[in-house]
Structure 1
Amino acid sequence: MISKTTIDRVFETARLEEVIGDFVQLKKSGANFKGLSPFTDERTPSFMVSPVKQIWKDFSSGKGGNVVAFLMEHEHFTYPEAIKYLAKKYNIEVEETERTDEQKQEADERESMYLVSEFAQRHFADMLWNSELGKAIGLTYFKERGFTPETIKKFGLGYCLDQWDGFTNAALDKGYRLSYLEKTGLTIVKPDPNNPNGTRKFDRFKGRVMFPIHSMSGRVLGFGGRILTNDKKAAKYLNSPESDIYHKSKVLYGIFYAKKAIAKEDNCFLVEGYTDVIQLHQRGLENVVSSSGTALTPEQIRLINRLTKNITVLFDGDAAGLRASLRGIDLILEQGMNVKVCTFPEGEDPDSFAKNNELEDIVGYLEGNAKDFIQFKANLLAKEAANDPIKRAETVRDIVNSIAKIPDGIKQEIYIQECAGIMNVSESVLFSTLAQIGKKESTEASKKQRQEQKAFDVVKNDATVEKVDVQYELERKIIEILLLYGNNTEKFEDLVLKESETGELVLEPESVEAKVYEKIYLDLQEDEIELANERFRTIYYKLIEALNQSENFSLSTFLGSLDQEMVSEVSSIMMEEEKYTLHNWERKDIYPKDKKIGVAQLTSETILTLRCFLIKKRMSALQGETREGTQDNRETLEEIMNYIQLNKLLNQKLNRVLS
């Protein structure tokens, strides 16, 4: 178990915007930061980060919370793992008490798979550096590729001995379960033909050099293994199979090492293989990732999209299936990203080119030879079409199809003009073709929408209009005021109920200076009001206690004392109004009023409105009693009349007209 001292230090030290900035490209937006949601597919930012409040809110998915909640949502960390990740990032020593056997068994399945994968990475690295076969075969191979010892260690490269079950037995000896070795794909388990009740165990990666595949936060998800013998029956490269922690379509090799450079350079170089990434990184070009030999997927593109809008795809000089690779470019365009393409000289690939050239020469070559995708595609397909009119027409349509995938109309027009010049076709014909494609897509979309609308109408006819829960909203507002301004000292105008000379009840104002939380607490206590919503009630009492105990109330420390469900609730409350800043009202000459200007008024009006609501609720209950009761209702009617008079006075104070 991690000590409370460590947890408190982590919350005090960690900067939310820095941590999230490792995963999402954030841009300043007033006092906050905004970016694309890391949880949904979107093109307009709806993800907000507040450095002052140290909380975040994703308005597209509804998720929110503090720094730990983000890591738990995004990286699927457990709470202790998130704390340890932050402690490592900020060089905080983790004080930990010994876990019991029962607590160890409670570690969830995903965490166990991560632990097995991380052990495997350490084991393979140990074999590479410390076993005779590892040094003779694996280390020699990496050095021949031009990798320095520092690079080999940085990327966690290793070697799996050419033994049937060497790794598996080493893992079992260390106490790792066979079930998790099998689920991660590190071990293959098959029935034993010689024993009906027995099984045989094999190392999946026997005799291969190992490339660990990391998540964006640096956790080992799986492996790529390259065979070094000339066994024609065995695949040259072998990847871990799909598992609960490894989904190859959602992972990019090298993203952990490249993310900061991608955000800094505002560009990502996309290559095909592991060694391409490592060689370029070693040369100093660090903003490079690989799809690891698989076809590029929308999920992988969205991973890059969180960090930059710009991708440069690097192809081998003699890349086989180059035309097929162009489909990946269309996927990038669909995500609204800017894409360039660069091919290396014939016989070269990113690995060999980086190995044989200095960084300055590599950067110069990429800057000089990276072409806009439309130029690249048009030139490539134009060569194939040559003088064949039919092929040429197909080529033009192919290019316009790509342009149609771009969501930005201005970009579409510019690319149409470029294409017209390269292919020697009139712009009007290309615009007409683009319009036809757009019309076809629009018709299909409308048809789909009509089908969905029919289904929706069936549901809508049975639906009832949901009423606003006034008490819920008012209680939520009280929590918001406490969180934002609880420690503020304000001048309040208290209302004291007195009897006038004529015998009428009147509310006389009295000025009083108090902390906001004290004012709220005393007013609710005086009226014997308890929050009805259970979650709000729990947060309310925790807040009052925290504000009362410390004059230097820290929101991040307070959030650290709550469970994750409460953290999510608090972040939703505090970031609710931040979503309006996403619309950038100032550009439309609309300037929302700053609530800080009238904190005392906001507090008083919220409490008064809640009192009015509860009075009306009590009056309705009393009226129900008079209708149902058979006894003398004079006392009840008198109580109702008193409430009516009090309600009238409170509404006068709120400047409301009662019907």
Structure 2
Amino acid sequence: MRIPEETVERIRQASDILEVINDFVSLKKRGSNYIACCPFHNEKTPSFNVNPVRQIYKCFGCGKAGDAVRFVMDIENIGYGEALRYLAKKYGVEIEEQEQTPEELLRQNERESLLIALNFAKTYFQELMQKTDEGKSIGLSYFRERGFTNPTIDAFELGYSLDQWDGLLQEGTKRGYNPDMLEKAGLILRKEAEGGGKAKTFDRFRGRVMFPIHNVSGRVIAFGARILKTDKNQPKYLNSPETTVYHKSQVLYGIYQAKQAIRQEDVCFLTEGYTDVISLHQAGIKNVVASSGTSLTTEQIRLIARFTPNVTILYDGDAAGIKAALRGLDMVLEEGLNLRLLLLPDGEDPDSYVHKVGADAFKAYIKQHSQDFIDFKASRWLTEAGDDPLKRAEGISDVCASITRIPDLLKRQTLSQRVAQVFHVSEQSVISEINRLLRKQQDQGRKEEERQQQRAEANNRHTASQQPATTDDINALLNSLSDADTDLPEITIPDAPFEAAPSFKVTRTPIAHQEEECIRLLMNYGAIELEPEITLCDYILEELKDIEEFQSSSNNAMLSLYRKSYQRKVILTAENFLDQLTPEQSELHKTAVTLCIQKYKISDGWAKHEIYVPTEEEIHILAKSAYQNILRIKKMLAEQRMIQIQQQMREPANSSDDADRLMLEFMNMKRVDVEISRLLGTVISG
């Protein structure tokens, strides 16, 4: 279904990019903008920048950029229409669309269809628990016995699946859901009959309490299910299989319910089980998540890092809990997070212990008994080592090995002092051990790279010996590359102040950077008057009148828009591009966002010390920037033309007149190049 343009505009106007991004990443104010570690690639230093005035974001690390709609598209991996519906729901904007039948819903893309099917299953399981005798007597009674209240049950959308073979299948079919889609969502199973008979189709979850698993934005993407009766042929817990929308290594149970509390408390408590999360949440400790039935993964740690750099692991105090804590310890450190660990009293888990002592006592226990990873490891090694010096040395080496995982050099140096204090050894011996382990890791990394390279070369030799390339193969490859270069995407730009722009590919050459700087100045300061009645746009377009087009296709597309709009007495601004270019016009939109967001900010420390730092917006600096930019473009064009002339002069077919003409043009270009170099104050080459 198409969303009317006026509705799209209402959604855009209602959306606040800070609120939208804050649902997924913790933003920190820096000057007039906000920063964070980018959610689209792994980084330790924030390069993700949000401009609330222009309602755009830009990552200077991976290049992702756009507005609120584009962010939702990228972070949720969904289409343009679905991102608009997400924002419309968030901000209460009514979308006037024709009512969709179940068949129309299922014809949408597979990801959206899977989410719709999973949401149907969630609601179905909730209704079964609240409205059927079996659901009330078994499912609801179980949650009541665990002490869960109605608000808690509603917050986590808990439910129950009847002990029937095909209850969900029948209900889903009756409501128009395709069994194939229910199977892809992991809700039903299909078993081929022996002897070529008809396949049997039945529900995956039967006679179990249901724990919906939500993604960061709150949509149900999978289920965890616990059986309540004793059946040796059935696993106690059963989880959804991996699907297009569910990858268990990338999901944390409870992250949707916990994300705001994690941001506010600036720490995330990490547990192992569903009921641990729910019980702590109900007790008022809401900044808690679980690793969703898997060993802790790097992706899960990075998900936590979106909201806080501080993690406290809460595991059971038995041998399995200690093993799990030690297994996740190095992974958390490797991602640059600050880690503390807490083992509960033997025989207790977070769920049982918070019920036993209450929320206040539980919080106090965390505060008193949580340890940093050095104390956590050292206490176990020192207990085991006793008076054995070799065991003691082994413990020091083990703690140092964890420190080598930390990417921050300053943190490593500080923690080496702590290790020396705890084990009563010299700091230099600890530093020497850390350096030895780091060198060992580097050596192992180099050896592994060499092995991979050798394997790759062996595979290439094997492939080459089996399939020798022919002249026809090479010609076909060259032709395909040539075709690819001319098969450019169509770019459509809305009506005035825009006209249709040429299609293009992004080209990154030295002159393209100067062209881009020219567009940046036009976009951000074009309407500013350098002199009375002479704007920056007047100056730049006048200076560029002898240059027919820019060499970079994307820059030339924007220059064409400026020239055509200028003829209509309109000077385009950044807002024209950001408001009128839709996310489908990805290259122009991304370029516009990139050019109008500032990467750096002048430190407030200069003002504190009463040191004045001029800014780019000041007229004399702006005029100088534009002047130098035009000079650099013309200098590069002159240098390119000189190279072309030299190539033409080498051609044997040139007559003496042609040679003289080319030599004269070369000398003129050389004089232009020398004069511009003088004006720029650069070194003139001989």
- Contact 2:70–2:583, Cα closer than 8 Å, also in 1: no
SS in 2 for 1:45: coil
- Contact 2:117–2:181, Cα closer than 8 Å, also in 1: yes
- Contact 2:268–2:310, Cα closer than 8 Å, also in 1: yes
Corresponding residue of 2:586: 564
Q: Report deviation, 1:96.
A: 3.2
Structure 1 residue 75 corresponds to structure 2 residue 97: no
Aligned mates of 1:521, 1:416 — CA distance in 2:
60
Aligned mates of 1:58, 1:553 — CA distance in 2:
19
Aligned mates of 1:414, 1:649 — CA distance in 2:
55
Q: Report deviation, 1:251.
A: 0.9
SS in 2 for 1:596: coil
Q: Report deviation, 1:377.
A: 2.4
Corresponding residue of 1:501: none
Please give the residue correspondences for 1:89-238 in structure 2 after superposition, counting only pairs within 5 Å: 89-97=90-98, 107-193=108-194, 196=196, 198-238=198-238
Q: Report deviation, 1:256.
A: 1.2
Aligned mates of 1:67, 1:438 — CA distance in 2:
42
SS in 2 for 1:57: strand
Aligned mates of 1:650, 1:49 — CA distance in 2:
42
Structure 1 residue 536 corresponds to structure 2 residue 555: yes
Aligned mates of 1:553, 1:435 — CA distance in 2:
53
Please give the residue correspondences for 1:206-285 in structure 2 after superposition, counting only pairs within 5 Å: 206-285=206-285
Unmatched tracts of structure 1, length 5 or more: 458-466, 493-511
Aligned mates of 2:139, 2:670 — CA distance in 1:
89
> Could you tell me which amino acid in structure 2 is paired with residue 490 of structure 1?
E
Aligned mates of 1:140, 1:582 — CA distance in 2:
61
Structure 1 residue 482 corresponds to structure 2 residue 552: no
Corresponding residue of 1:504: none
Tell me: CA distance 1:652–1:37, structure 2 relative to 1, closer, same or farther (3 Å): closer
Aligned mates of 1:148, 1:632 — CA distance in 2:
96
Structure 1 residue 602 corresponds to structure 2 residue 625: yes
Q: Report deviation, 1:226.
A: 0.8
SS in 2 for 1:295: coil
Count of paired positions: 625
Q: Report deviation, 1:560.
A: 3.9
Q: Report deviation, 1:591.
A: 9.8
Aligned mates of 2:12, 2:324 — CA distance in 1:
48
Corresponding residue of 2:341: 341
- Contact 2:374–2:399, Cα closer than 8 Å, also in 1: yes
Q: Report deviation, 1:359.
A: 3.4
Corresponding residue of 2:492: none
Please give the residue correspondences for 1:389-408 in structure 2 after superposition, counting only pairs within 5 Å: 391-408=391-408
Tell me: CA distance 1:533–1:422, structure 2 relative to 1, closer, same or farther (3 Å): closer
Tell me: CA distance 1:624–1:311, structure 2 relative to 1, closer, same or farther (3 Å): closer
> Could you tell me which amino acid in structure 2 is paired with residue 4 of structure 1?
E
Corresponding residue of 2:286: 286
- Contact 2:155–2:257, Cα closer than 8 Å, also in 1: no
- Contact 1:272–1:292, Cα closer than 8 Å, also in 2: yes
Aligned mates of 2:192, 2:153 — CA distance in 1:
37
Aligned mates of 2:386, 2:659 — CA distance in 1:
101
> Could you tell me which amino acid in structure 1 is paired with residue 622 of structure 2?
V
Corresponding residue of 1:316: 316
> Could you tell me which amino acid in structure 1 is paired with residue 123 of structure 2?
R
> Could you tell me which amino acid in structure 2 is paired with residue 233 of structure 1?
N
Taking structure 1 as the reference length, what is the TM-score of the superposition?
0.82
- Contact 2:295–2:324, Cα closer than 8 Å, also in 1: no
Corresponding residue of 1:63: 64
Tell me: CA distance 1:173–1:342, structure 2 relative to 1, closer, same or farther (3 Å): same
> Could you tell me which amino acid in structure 2 is paired with residue 481 of structure 1?
L
- Contact 2:251–2:300, Cα closer than 8 Å, also in 1: yes
> Could you tell me which amino acid in structure 1 is paired with residue 533 of structure 2?
E
Aligned mates of 1:165, 1:533 — CA distance in 2:
60
Which structure is higher in strand share?
1
**1:74-131 residue CA offsets vs partner (Å, 9 max, x unmatched):** 2212112222222233333333356799986763222222222222222222222222
- Contact 1:57–1:572, Cα closer than 8 Å, also in 2: yes
Aligned mates of 1:366, 1:656 — CA distance in 2:
64
**1:400-430 residue CA offsets vs partner (Å, 9 max, x unmatched):** 3223333345544554454455555565654
Point out which structure has higher relative CO (alpha carbons under 8 A, 6+ apart): 1
Indicate the larger mover: 315-324 or 231-240: 315-324
Aligned mates of 1:99, 1:605 — CA distance in 2:
58
Aligned mates of 2:379, 2:299 — CA distance in 1:
29
Aligned mates of 2:102, 2:535 — CA distance in 1:
48
Aligned mates of 2:103, 2:663 — CA distance in 1:
63
Tell me: CA distance 1:616–1:162, structure 2 relative to 1, closer, same or farther (3 Å): same
Tell me: CA distance 1:548–1:341, structure 2 relative to 1, closer, same or farther (3 Å): same
Indicate the larger mover: 82-91 or 605-614: 605-614
Indicate the larger mover: 240-249 or 63-72: 63-72
Corresponding residue of 2:509: 469
Aligned mates of 2:432, 2:622 — CA distance in 1:
59
- Contact 1:2–1:97, Cα closer than 8 Å, also in 2: no
Q: Report deviation, 1:570.
A: 2.5
Taking structure 2 as the reference length, what is the TM-score of the superposition?
0.79
Q: Report deviation, 1:610.
A: 4.4
Q: Report deviation, 1:490.
A: 1.0
- Contact 1:12–1:556, Cα closer than 8 Å, also in 2: no
Aligned mates of 2:100, 2:543 — CA distance in 1:
46
Tell me: CA distance 1:408–1:477, structure 2 relative to 1, closer, same or farther (3 Å): closer
Unmatched tracts of structure 2, length 5 or more: 458-506
Aligned mates of 1:417, 1:123 — CA distance in 2:
57
> Could you tell me which amino acid in structure 2 is paired with residue 44 of structure 1?
T
- Contact 2:578–2:593, Cα closer than 8 Å, also in 1: no
Aligned mates of 2:442, 2:663 — CA distance in 1:
67
Aligned mates of 1:298, 1:333 — CA distance in 2:
11
